[in-house]
Amino acid sequence: MVVAVVDQAGAVVKDAKISVSNTATGAAREATSGATGDATFAALPLAGTYNVSVSKEGFAADEQKDVTLRAGETATLKFKLMVGAGKSEVTVFGTSAGVRSDPEIGKELTGKDIDETPILGRKVTSLPLLNSSFRQAKGTGDLFVNATYFVTGAGGRRETTVALDGGSDDEGWGRQTALITMPIGAIQEMSALTNAFSSEFGWTAGPALNVITKSGSNVFHGEALYMNRPEWLETKTFSTTNF
């Protein structure tokens, strides 16, 4: 997250106190705007929303609440502070509620979307198939990794790159699947990118998957899976007569 501070004339405001707090965890970070009028908060978890406040002596303080971050994109909040008790202005880019500032083309799936979508086998690697640009790659073998293989456009099955929390998750043998398979319940957000993605994915000739996992919060949560086979559904004999 980048927070930029200017005055009513558009001039940068340095030494402004900037505070960022997570509503889910209560974690707070503070910084002071530099000579260019901005401050950067790196590696903020996606879980929860953020309240951002800016203040400086001689200016009216301002706050932006419920800022929701988006995976793979830097959120930019531009505060225009007014002298005295004037009303300040805040412009937001790169968040779920603000204007997109990235050129990436693809389908974005939030944790809520994933939870509400029936996914065969609950395989994370089946999620890209929800983007119409992707199709399953049949007959490619390597099924021992319990993953769904896919291709997009005219690309081959070894031309997709996978990023997990900012790091490479590509299988070393280049079989176009994730090296680390994470539970669906652990995913905060996932983007299936087909075109115009940023340089961090630029080495690949095909699409890119960007996966961000959930962070903890002050609220106990999780999920459990279980299998049950009622006794009355079980066979009463092991006979194979007429079979």
In the three-class reduction of DSSP (H, G, I as helix; E, B as strand; rest coil), residue 168 is classed as strand
Rounded Cα distance between 128 and 147, Å, is: 12
Lowest-confidence range among 38-42, 114-118, 182-186, 213-217?
213-217
Question: Does residue 218 surpass a pLDDT of 90?
Answer: no
Q: What fold does the segment set 2-93 form as a domain?
A: Immunoglobulin-like (2.60.40)
| pLDDT for res 104 | 67
* Position 134 confidence tier, pLDDT thresholds 50, 70, 90: confident
Q: What is the per-residue pLDDT for 86?
A: 59
- Domain boundaries for CATH 2.60.40.1120 within the chain: 2-93
Q: Is the pLDDT of residue 235 over 60?
A: yes
Among 85-94, 165-174, 208-217, where is mean pLDDT lowest?
85-94
Say if CB 98 and CB 178 are below 8 A apart. no
Does the pLDDT value for residue 99 go beyond 80? no
Q: Average pLDDT for residues 152-172, to the nearest whole number?
A: 77
* Whether pLDDT at 111 is above 90: no
Give CA torsion, residues 214, 216, 218, 222, to 10 deg.
70
Write down how long the chain is. Answer: 243
For the domain made up of 105-213, give the CATH fold: Ferric Hydroxamate Uptake Protein; Chain A, domain 1 (2.170.130)
Output the pLDDT for position 50: 92
Q: What share of the chain is helix, strand, coil (3-state, %, to 5)?
A: 10, 35, 55
Range list for CATH 2.170.130.10 in the chain: 105-213
Residue 145, pLDDT above cutoff 70: no
